[in-house]
Structure 1
């Protein structure tokens, strides 16, 4: 099975995985730089760019995962990402590409382990284990720096990697390990970084 993970933004991170019978291989990763120009409508231009990228690469896949919209962003960014999410889902349906429900950021990043707690009213909250990426890599936070650091270590790479790329890789690892429950070795040695698009103007 070929799986593609997308971490959506005006600069979208992506990663392409080949899930084989004997191992999982990260084949390619990078960023899709959507155009940002002064003329209107900006959102239409960006979505058209994403459509062009999808035509190039997404049809090579069997299954797509992508991050859900996080509401903590500013209003205009959130509005654009909601439009993009709707476009992605309609594109996948139109092209008969299977995809998962959008994955919440808090789900794939996970939670730290919690000790048993006794409340003032005597009720005991049971201990809970760490989940998601926090459990897999034993970290207490998955911020930009931590995400990049983990992925650079996995890739054993000195290439420039931004958090959009690293988040797409970590989200895919979460999905492979926790949702698909695949415990096969993951091979990062063949991964190539390929970026698409143009610089912001």
Structure 2
């Protein structure tokens, strides 16, 4: 439950949404419309950013020592493994796997039940690419953090890095990279 709480509340989705609501973003970016089936008439909500941030916060919880015991840590690792296994989306939509093969793939590599796995696979079938967003977004945020730590050295401030990500609201990952690159350059200029 600890990993799920981190993912869905603070510092995960709830915190990210709260930052968006109080930021200087224009209204059309503050108030995301979650009716994705209405696309392209609504501004997209950038799944890799949103789910990537939330998954990154599960990792952050471990780094901060939030998980109180081995059971909570094991829960985090089970969730992490499940997110990595969402790559099954690629099997379904690129390699042409059928539903049963995808279910078996998840059953072999996660602790989920057949019923729960079948529900997940039904979601992936109807929303191509969404499932991969979790891990892809998390990996990009970790990559950007490593880049910032390396380039800024002792001037790297983790809370400022997180603020820079959250205060700009949901965006494509290539835009997030540009935002972080600009932030790195600003920090370097301030320190010179």
Q: Normalization by structure 1: what TM-score?
A: 0.30
Select the structure that is richer in helix: 2
Task: Tell me the TM-score normalized by structure 2.
Answer: 0.31
Structure whose residues are more often strand by fraction = 1
